[in-house]
Amino acid sequence: MAQQSRGVEVDEYGSPRSPLNSCGTTWERRMSAQLVWRDRNEIPQLDPSVGLPHSEAVESTLTDFYQITMCYAYWKAGKENQHAVFDLFFRKCPFHGEFAIIAGVEEAVRFLNTFHFSNDQIEYLKGQLPTAKEGFFDFLKKLDCSKVTVYAIPEGSIVFAKEPLMRIEGPLAVCQLLETPLLNLLNYASLVATNAARHAMASAANPGNRPIQLLEFGTRRAQGPDGAMSASRYSYLGGFHGTSNVRAGHLFGIPVVGTHAHAFVTSFEGLRDLEGEPKPLGTCEDFVQLVLQYRAEFNRKVATKPTMQNEGELAAFISYALSFPKNCLALVDTYDTIHSGVCNFLMVALALHSLGYKARGIRLDSGDLAYLSKEARKLFKATSKAFDVPFDSLAIVASNDINEKVIMALNQEGHELDSFGIGTHLVTCQAQPALGMVYKLAELDSTPRMKLSQDVEKTSIPCRKALYRLYARSGVAVLDMMQHSADPPPKEGDRIFCRHLFDETKRCYVVPSRVEQLLVCIWQEGKSVGHRPSLKECRDHCIQSLKMVRSDHLRTENPTPYKVSASGVFYDFFKDLWQKTSPIFELQ
């Protein structure tokens, strides 16, 4: 059943079938080779000012099959063009916290802009729906987002549970098809941005109030290649300063960082690896000799256990310094962190200093980071004193299994770290690897719709809604309030009655000094609407946005829930509809 494509027999991966892999399978091959090889320039775009999605996997078929079957059933029932309003939201903040950061909005716009079904996708779907009428596929073929309107809270904003983060309006069938890809694009992006923001806040709370550089090191542990790209991008948005991921640096302009690994150190056996031609550096004709002179002096004045110094490691550091004299940061834990690694680094740093170069510092990748950072700092200071050099504030980077809790424990104990390189815990969001965003029908042909649940808090909130953030005179956000989108917006200075939607005992009046409309139109009639902020702008907005709420909403232990409320009118409407819709159980 292998398919023919451009005259070449291909396997199910779209590869030409060679003699080596043609002893093949009997498995039916549905794959068409073009799918993999499609030229991205051929993808139609509604709005030429908007770029393509950054992953080629972001296309109309990155969706659950039930969206297609539902779409067919809508079409068959003549409902495909009913005017639908969907809300995208989550019910519970991640990481046992009381906030999240919304991210993925720019990618969502790129997806809306290119949404369509190609001929080969249509052919595939025909195979999957053999009994569907031909007219349905004609309908699919013409489908795009030119009749869809989308509102979203700006990317990088602080957001809360149960409020609509995105409102999607338009013909029922196409809005339904957008559910899975939009959830995919926003769920992980928002989760990792939130995780990054939490790590940034934890690291900022160090006892010395030192500014801490946060570096994302997760490419190898991320959930697949694009998982790595998203992790780098949205960690930066959430407040990180750099990434090790070169492709993310290249594609998104994030600063890239990195020095060397253990393999570099173990690739040197000893100083004999540096024999041969003398190695000049700057004004020095033989840098190796210069380091060895400093070694002798350092071991007289500072080191306590010179026999523990590994010469392969010293050779590696010398070699690295020859390559990066202005940017020398050494991984010091291959043999013994303090007595070998830090000492070998300091000898090289002294030699560099004598030539006018400033070494950057060290990286710790194992052991007790609080203790080792303090011991290393002591050696830095001792060296400063013994050699009259400015080594007190050389950088100490930590990169072993760091997470939010580890950072807080290090703050508690006190440490001398200047930077954290965070991988696994950041990018896989180990503390909670999924954010449960959902996408619910709120209104159809101007009639409110709700999905009931035996758990009333899981009931979806009906109607086309507007969402406002009300600020106090101090500039701090007091609460978010939703209401019917057609109702007049709350105004500065008005006394506004707000209610908790699921707890009738919670209500308050607010007199806002400022009112912010949170859901902003980003897509209308096939065009991107409004300013599309750059990644850096989203990052700045995120940092700013976190400052607009009280710190007790942000803390790790028992944070205070931020108030997400409804107008009095909306509350009454919601309760009334629930009473009418929910079945009353008949007990026997």
Q: How far is Cα of residue 345 from the mean position of the Cα atoms in its chain?
A: 34
Rg (CA), the chain: 29
d(CA 46, CA 263): 49
By CB under 8 A, tell whether 223 contacts a copy of itself.
yes
Size of the site for a copy of itself (CB under 8 A): 163
By CB under 8 A, tell whether 221 contacts a copy of itself.
yes
By CB under 8 A, tell whether 440 contacts a copy of itself.
yes
**Least spacing, CB of residue 162 vs a copy of itself, in Å:** 17
Q: Which is nearer to a copy of itself, 388 or 455 (CB)?
A: 455
By CB under 8 A, tell whether 83 contacts a copy of itself.
no
By CB under 8 A, tell whether 355 contacts a copy of itself.
no
Interface with a copy of itself by CB under 8 A: which range of 20-28, 141-149, 283-291, 483-491?
20-28
By CB under 8 A, tell whether 59 contacts a copy of itself.
yes
By CB under 8 A, tell whether 308 contacts a copy of itself.
yes
Of the candidates 212, 214, 219, the residue with the CA atom closest to the CA atom of residue 248? 219
By CB under 8 A, tell whether 249 contacts a copy of itself.
yes
Among 530, 544, 551, 552, binds a copy of itself (CB under 8 A): 530
3-state DSSP assignment of residue 493: coil
By CB under 8 A, tell whether 326 contacts a copy of itself.
yes
Residue pointed to by tokens 């070494």? 359
- The DSSP letter of residue 398 is E
Binders of a copy of itself among 142-181, rule CB under 8 A? 172, 176, 179-181
Interaction mask 37-56, a copy of itself, x per CB under 8 A: xxxxx------xxxxxxxxx
d(CA 136, CA 70): 12
By CB under 8 A, tell whether 453 contacts a copy of itself.
yes
Q: How far is Cα of residue 447 from the mean position of the Cα atoms in its chain?
A: 36
Q: Please name the residue ranges forming H helices in 77-129.
A: 105-114, 119-128
Interface with a copy of itself by CB under 8 A: which range of 154-162, 290-298, 435-443, 551-559?
435-443
The full 3-state SS of 415-464, as one line of letters, equals CCCCEEEECHHHHCCCCCCCCCEEEEEEEECCEECCCCCCCHHHCCCCCC
- The DSSP letter of residue 489 is P
By CB under 8 A, tell whether 526 contacts a copy of itself.
no
Among 15, 81, 293, 354, binds a copy of itself (CB under 8 A): 15
Binders of a copy of itself among 374-433, rule CB under 8 A? 424, 428-430, 433
Burial class (CB in 10 A: 0-12, 13-18, 19+), 158: buried
By CB under 8 A, tell whether 86 contacts a copy of itself.
yes
Q: Which is nearer to a copy of itself, 381 or 451 (CB)?
A: 451
d(CA 110, CA 53): 5
Among 207, 272, 296, 452, binds a copy of itself (CB under 8 A): 452
Q: Which is nearer to a copy of itself, 233 or 469 (CB)?
A: 233
Interface with a copy of itself by CB under 8 A: which range of 158-166, 334-342, 481-489, 568-576?
334-342
Structure tokens belonging to residue 59: 């296309």
Among 5, 81, 121, 384, binds a copy of itself (CB under 8 A): 121
d(CA 455, CA 470): 29
Binders of a copy of itself among 263-292, rule CB under 8 A? 263-264, 266-267, 269, 273-274
Q: Which is nearer to a copy of itself, 66 or 509 (CB)?
A: 66
Q: Give me the amino acid identity at 487.
A: D
Interface with a copy of itself by CB under 8 A: which range of 127-135, 138-146, 197-205, 292-300?
127-135
3-state DSSP assignment of residue 469: strand
Burial class (CB in 10 A: 0-12, 13-18, 19+), 217: buried
